Structure formats: structure tokens, C-alpha cells
Amino acid sequence: MRAARDLLRILGLWRSRAGWLVFGVLAACASALAGLALLALAGAGVSSGLATGTLAAGMGSLLLLRPLILVRPLLRWGERMATHEATFRALADTRSWFFRRLAGRLSAGPGLTRSGDLLGRLVTDVEALDGLYLRALVPMAAAASVVLAVAVILGRLSPGLAAIVALPLALALLLPVLVAPVAARAAAGLAASTGGLRAEATEPLTAMEDILAANAEGRALAGVEGAAAGMDAARRRVTRAGSLGAAAGTLLTQAALLGALAWGLLEGGASAGPVVVALFLVLAATDALGALPRAGAALALAGAGARRLLETADAPVPVPDPPASVISATPAGHAITIRDLRFTWAPDRAPVFEGLSLDLPEGARIALLGPSGSGKSTLAALLLKLAAPQVGTITLGGADYATLSADAVRTRIACLTQEATLFDDSIAANLRLAAPDAPEADLWAALEKARVAELVRALPEGLETRCGEAGARFSGGQARRIALARALLSPASVIILDEPTAGLDAATERAFLETLDTALGGRSAILITHRLIGVERPTRILRLAGRQALPAMA
């Protein structure tokens, strides 16, 4: 029942594609019925020839085969095009929906969820859903239309023969819903083990330098091989369930054939015509019914994929937006005030802050110092509304954070972190993450402020130069300046700089911090760092100590 509810919810996500989905089903039914008509006409022609002893009697039926022989391939092509187009559109919608749900629930990163497994859910589990439509619903609809047509055609010739032939064929229609529960546990294991394999393979690749330095290649390989073995075992269990269904389907179609022959023997020569037609119709139905056992396995796999997607998508939002009834208008100012704030990441962990108070007037520049683990990055998360305090208040322009949406806060506050990532796209695309509609002149202005425009102009492709994965095209200092330009391009009035020079050499660090003095203009800024080097020019220096923000010695 749970799997059925999950699959129905997925179908609900595809409502906007209902036209394509229905058209694909109709095209599949038309193609299957065209195949049935071919053999039905052939059977009628042979039956007429046997009844009269001459082939001429059946020529009328056989002549009708010629247009069908041409139409059937066209219908088959139309079916494939329509069903695959519907599937691609539906899966694209599902990926977009899932990514949006993840963005609100994993705003601070994957946390305790392995990133490789998350990738598996976004890719493999979404792809498993194509089985719900393409390999389950479409074949089931086509098979049902064929069985109904067989029953109607034979019912007009001989009701008794129709009952004997159509009953086992109708039972075959139940195979997907009978196979799916048998395969469900194996499918769940396959989905989980596939995600585990992705995680085991992804994590060593992203930390290969550390793996090699620790001489741990063997252990990493063993983890991958173990996960692969688990996935293969689960896949075999799913295949066994599908094979049992296929065997049952074969028995049922054979029963329909034997039933038609037995009817002919019992009724004698007078039933030869209907029996011949019945045999041809069963052969046609066998083609449509042959996909049903695989449909059961596809349903099980789609159900397992849907469960993993929904488990992640339905995780609670760390900081939900306030109800519309209490949400405030975007404040006019951007002064930040923190009062008596208490925050802990988990109830069983010590508080990061206890009674923290802090003021950031408009246009001020605060340097917030503290050792690792003192809560500097946690404060950035609180100000960006990626986390919420258990006690105390934060206000922006006089408006309480509890009455502001996350979008309203992040429109006013931008952040440049030590892990500021450049994506494997053009420089222009990376910059426009902060302002999607920014004209090229604004991009160059931001690069000028970050003192990296000259470098970009010297590149053969200029703004269209690809940055490489994680900005590999550039040095650490160059990448950090492009990331700074992206932050400056945003309309935010407050910039948080969270250890922005981490990992840079002394000369690059100094040059970068000197750039900040002019680049920030009149914006408010919070520079979060473990030390100052003398070029930052803050208006106030605070040190995080004992879960409090205390004035620091100049």
C-alpha cells in the first residue's frame, strides 16, 4: 500500500504532462490493436478458405492486410516517439521538483547524508521512475486493450470460446500487480545498494590525494567491490521475480491456446473457423502480454525509487518560512541586531552561542575574530537563515527574522565563504548566479571592483571562458577574486566574508584583503577570520570567546 501511495504521488507530479502521457498510452494501444487486427484478418482469411475449400473466399480479409502492413510500423514508431517524449518530460519535471525540495532542506550541505547517495537519488532513482510509465503503465494499457478486443471479437463468433480464451489472458493482466510485491523487497535493496555503490565510488574519487597519501587504495577498492557485489545480488533477486512472472505469463497464454484447441475438438468441424481465428488472436495477444511480467518488476523498482526520493524530499525544512499571515514586508534598511541569542546544532550538543548580542549598523565593517570551532561560521549560517536560534532574536532593518522569508533575507545579505565554488561553466554564468539578468557591463564592473577584469580580458574567450570543475582553470587567488565579483554583483547590502583568504599564500591574502577595502563600497560587511594582518580597516573588531562576542584589543 505504501508503494502504491508513493507511485500515485509521483503521478500527481506529472499532472502538467497529462496530455503527453495520455497520448502515449493511446498510441501504444493503437499500435497493439493494429497488430491484433493484422492477425485477426489473417485468421479470418484462413478460416474462410478452410470453410469453402478455396483461398478466394478469404481474399477480402487478406486484401485488408495490405494497408495494415504499412500502418502498423508507423503506429509503432509513433508509439515509441510519444511514450519516450512523455517520459523525458515527466522525468525532467521530477528532477526539477526534487532539486527544489533538496535546496530547501540541504541548504547547509548534505550533513549526515552521503553526497554520492544523494547523487544516486537525483539520477538513478529518478531514472527508475521511467519504468512506472514506459515499462508498466503503457504495456499494461496496451495489453488490456488487446485482451478486451480478443474477448469482443471471439464473443461475436462464439461466446463459449471467448470465455475459454479470454479468461487466462485476463488473468495474465494481473501479473504486474502480483509480481510487484514479490519483487518489492529486492527492488528496495537494489535501490539502496546502487546508492551505496555511488557513495563508495564517489567519496574516494573526491579525496583521491588523501587516499593515495594514506596508501588506502586497497581499502577504497574493497569498499567499491563490496557495494558492487551487494548491488549485483539485489539485481539477481529482482530478475528472479521477473522470471517467475514471465513463466506464469507463458503458462497462461499456452492455456489460452490449448483451450481454443480443446474447444475445437469438442465442438467438431463446425467450430473450425472460430478456433482458427482464436489461435491467431492468442498469438497476437502473446506479443502484448509478453511485457507484463517485466512491468511487475518495473513497478517494484519504480516504487523503491519513489520511496527514496520522497524520503529525502519530505525531510523537514531546517528553517521554514513564516506563514503568509505573519510574514513582514521586505525591510527598508539593512542594519543587523542580535540580542541574547542562544544556539545549538543539536539538543545533545553544547551551545555554540549563549546570550550573544551584536550590532552591525548600516555601512559598518566588523571584523569577527576567533579560533576554529568558536562559532564564526555558525554565525554566518544564522545570519543567512540557514539555521535558526533556539532563544533570542535577530533583526534586519528592524524586522524580526522570524517574520522574514529566507528569500527576503538572502536578497539583503550575501556571503563569500572559504569554499566559494566556481562551477564548470563560463565566467559569465558563474557571475550571473548572483544576478541572472545582469547585463555584460555589470559583469565587467564587478570584475573591475574585484581587480580581476584584466585577467579575464586577457583570456581568448573572455567572459565565456570555462572555469573548470571547482574553478580548476584558475589559481586559488584568481578563483577567489571571481567569487568576490559574484558576491559584489548581487544586490545585497550586507556582505559576509567567511574566512575568504583561507588557503591563500601571504602575498595573495594581503592583495585580496586590500581589494576588499575599495570593492565593498558603502555596503555593510562582516569579516569572519581567525586573525587580522593589518590591511582590513574594520570599523570595529570583536572576538568570539566563551560563546560571546567581546571587543578585541586593537
The CATH number given to whatever domain includes residue 46 is: 1.20.1560.10
Residue 413 maps to which CATH number?
3.40.50.300
- Residue 12 located in a structural domain: yes
Residue-wise pLDDT tens digits, 294-336: 888 888 888 888 888 888 788 777 788 788 777 777 777 888 8
| 3 state DSSP class of 32 | helix
pTM of the predicted model as reported, rounded to 2 decimal places: 0.73
Tell me: do 289 and 407 sit in the same domain. no
Residue-wise pLDDT tens digits, 418-473: 777 888 889 999 999 888 888 989 999 888 888 888 889 998 888 899 888 778 88
Tell me: do 144 and 209 sit in the same domain. yes
**Domain boundaries, position 378:** 336-551
The H-or-E segment that residue 336 falls in is strand 336-343
- Residue 383 located in a structural domain: yes
Give the integer Cα–Cα distance in Å for 192 and 182. 17
The H-or-E segment that residue 84 falls in is helix 65-105
pLDDT the model gives residue 110: 39
Tell me: do 111 and 249 sit in the same domain. yes
- Residue 392 located in a structural domain: yes
DSSP 189-257: HHHHHHHHHHHHHHHHHHTHHHHHHTT-HHHHHHHHHHHHHHHHHHHHHHHHHHHHHHHHHHHHHHHHH
Tell me: do 272 and 347 sit in the same domain. no
Among candidate residues 313, 344, 362, the one where a domain is terminated: 313
The C-alpha cell at 541 is: 573588531
Tell me: do 384 and 515 sit in the same domain. yes
- Residue 327 located in a structural domain: no
DSSP state of 350: -
Tell me: do 232 and 344 sit in the same domain. no
Contact 109, 421 (CB under 8 A): no
Q: Which of 305, 297, 387 is nearest to 117 (CA)?
A: 305
* Domains identified in the chain, total number: 2
Name every residue whose Cβ is closer than 8 Å to that of residue 322 and which is 6 or more positions away in sequence: 402, 403, 404, 405
pLDDT the model gives residue 57: 46
Tell me: do 252 and 357 sit in the same domain. no
- Residue 485 located in a structural domain: yes
Give Rg (Cα) of the chain.
33
451: left (phi > 0), else alpha (psi -120 to 50), else beta?
Answer: left
The C-alpha cell at 210 is: 588523501
Tell me: do 146 and 182 sit in the same domain. yes
Describe the strand order of the beta sheet including 391-396 as a list of residue ranges.
353-360, 336-343, 391-396, 399-400
Tell me: do 252 and 342 sit in the same domain. no
Residue-wise pLDDT tens digits, 490-536: 888 888 888 877 766 777 777 777 777 777 777 888 888 877 776 56
Residues in the chain: 554
Contact 306, 73 (CB under 8 A): no
Tell me: do 292 and 235 sit in the same domain. yes
Q: Which is more confident, 543 or 336?
A: 336
Give the pLDDT band (50/70/90) at residue 109: very low
- Residue 228 located in a structural domain: yes
Give the pLDDT band (50/70/90) at residue 21: very high
Measured at the alpha carbon of residue 105, what is the angle toward residues 416 and 189, in degrees to the nearest 5? 125
Please return the burial class of 501, using the count of CB atoms within 10 Å of its CB with bins 0-12, 13-18 and 19+: buried
Tell me: do 12 and 154 sit in the same domain. yes
Question: Which amino acid is present at 374?
Answer: S
Instruction: Taking residues 163-170, report their average pLDDT.
Output: 89
Checking if the pLDDT of 85 tops 80, the result is yes
The H-or-E segment that residue 541 falls in is strand 540-545
Give the pLDDT band (50/70/90) at residue 548: low
Give the integer Cα–Cα distance in Å for 383 and 372. 19
Instruction: Taking residues 127-156, report their average pLDDT.
Output: 88
Hey, CA dihedral for 98, 100, 102, 105, is it positive or negative?
negative
Tell me: do 286 and 155 sit in the same domain. yes
- Residue 166 located in a structural domain: yes
- Residue 469 located in a structural domain: yes
Within its chain, how far is the Cα of 550 from the centroid? 45
